Structure 1
Amino acid sequence: MNEVNQYILDTIKSHVWGGFDTPDDIQEVISDLLEEGADEKMLRESVSTEFMKKLEAEKSWPKVTDIDRLESVFLTLKTNGILCLHNAGYTMSDGHEDSDEALSSYPKDKFFGYCFYHGQDLERAVSGEGLMLAYDHVNGDVPEKINVAQTIQKALKKAGFDVEWDGTTNQRLSIPKFDWKHRANSR
């Protein structure tokens, strides 16, 4: 298998197992990635094959997965003033932009902070490398940002997650043992 096909296959697997995309969404991703040397027919057919593998695997997953527990934490944080987003853009800057956009649809004083993970974080989580969470204060500086992170850390620990963080704004929160199992029909 050549590098182009392998890269696109890896991308397909990441999108399927990430649990946010439909088969049509992934076909669009393939269209964006196709280049000379790509086996378009094989790549397009692999989408349904990969979805079937995932649906079969889901049968053996626990009733409550880590992503289910994270969703519960995100909902709790939202009721306590921190807006949390799943799969916010592809990069850190995308995540901050998506957060700003999401915040703009609420009254200004509803949230004091926000939290997200982006597409690259999702790819790492799907491949078993844990999950990183970004955070920020809506309009504060370092002490307020640390308060946001501490609030998120406390909620994650209460939900049973091991969280790594150095206590500074220089580092994102990390859940190193996050087992990414996101059911296709759960979102």
Structure 2
Amino acid sequence: MITELHDFVRFRLALGRDSHRGILNQCERHEGDSDSDSDSDDVAATVTKEFESYMEDQSTWPDVLDSDRFLRAFGDLNATGIVALADFSCCLSCGTSEIGEVVPDGRERRGYVFAHRQDMENAVAGAGCDLAFGSFGDGESAAGIGEAVVAALRGHGFDPGWSGDPAERVHVPLTWRRIRATSPVSSAAPKAAFRSYGLRTESSSSTPRTPSGAPSVAATSPWPRPRG
């Protein structure tokens, strides 16, 4: 779990799911939960500083990032009937128990693959991303889903590691980061947009929820709808 404020900001920036205001709100909640002495001005200054540093760093990045290829692979998997979600749920246990609830009624799905929040934290840190996968029902084996996941990733230039054992997760060597674009506004409150494959932009207030509270998503999107 990320505890330091500047690390938390960098993670939210790299994840690519929040606007500047959204990150600021997340940070204020984060600091409140951690009983920090930082006030709102300190938090805002840290967010702005890290945002500007991130923008400077991304000027040196290639046009196509690991995350672009990853999300495209997940889009391909969704199109073939495998529910593929990035940043889904908080951990492996919760993600595995909730993944079946995001399949819309009347949709037949072969299986699933997802990266949970802890996986995404590792990916942002450059340690790669581990993927959980499995099958729905008796239609296809978990091993078959794993093979499909590996094939999709290879199709987008990755060299995933997997032993072939369905009890083991697929490891994808990558560093997760998203390109952000800003408009020329005050440095105190930069506005951000995202170049993102399949990122949904509906407001959180309209996001359907499953009985357990997980976001209910269309099975063709590689992102859950925004949370919080």
- TM range, smaller chain: 0.7 to 0.9
Aligned residues: 179
Cα shift at 1:37:
4.4
Q: Mind listing any 5+ residue stretches in structure 2 that lack a counterpart?
A: 181-193, 197-228
Which stretch shifts more, 129-138 or 93-102?
A: 93-102
Deviation by residue 1:121-174 (Cα, 9 ceiling, x = unmatched): 111111111111111111249x71111001101111122111111211221100
Residue in structure 2 matched with residue 164 of structure 1 by the alignment: 161
The change in CA–CA distance for 1:46 and 1:133 in structure 2 (over 3 A counts) is same
Query: Do the aligned partners of 2:135 and 2:141 also contact (CA within 8 Å) in 1?
Result: yes
Q: Mind listing any 5+ residue stretches in structure 1 that lack a counterpart?
A: none
SS at match of 2:141: helix
Query: Do the aligned partners of 1:115 and 1:135 also contact (CA within 8 Å) in 2?
Result: yes
Deviation by residue 1:87-118 (Cα, 9 ceiling, x = unmatched): 11221133235532321x15242x10111111
Residue in structure 2 matched with residue 128 of structure 1 by the alignment: 126
SS at match of 2:4: helix
**Structure 1 Cα separation of the partners of residues 175 and 35 of structure 2:** 35
Query: Do the aligned partners of 1:87 and 1:116 also contact (CA within 8 Å) in 2?
Result: yes
Structure with a larger share of its residues in helix: 1
Deviation by residue 1:31-73 (Cα, 9 ceiling, x = unmatched): 3332444323323321122122222222222111111111111
**Structure 2 Cα separation of the partners of residues 75 and 150 of structure 1:** 16
- Does 2:15 align with 1:18? yes
**Structure 1 Cα separation of the partners of residues 35 and 75 of structure 2:** 45
Superposition RMSD in Å: 2.2
**Structure 2 Cα separation of the partners of residues 70 and 123 of structure 1:** 15
Flag as ranges the 4+ runs of structure 1 deviating above 6 A.
Answer: none
Query: Do the aligned partners of 1:88 and 1:98 also contact (CA within 8 Å) in 2?
Result: no
The change in CA–CA distance for 1:101 and 1:24 in structure 2 (over 3 A counts) is farther
Residue in structure 2 matched with residue 73 of structure 1 by the alignment: 73
The change in CA–CA distance for 1:13 and 1:76 in structure 2 (over 3 A counts) is same
- Does 2:35 align with 1:39? no
**Structure 2 Cα separation of the partners of residues 80 and 62 of structure 1:** 29
Residue in structure 1 matched with residue 117 of structure 2 by the alignment: 119
**Structure 2 Cα separation of the partners of residues 179 and 20 of structure 1:** 16
Residue in structure 2 matched with residue 89 of structure 1 by the alignment: 89
**Structure 2 Cα separation of the partners of residues 106 and 126 of structure 1:** 34
% identity of equivalent residues? 25
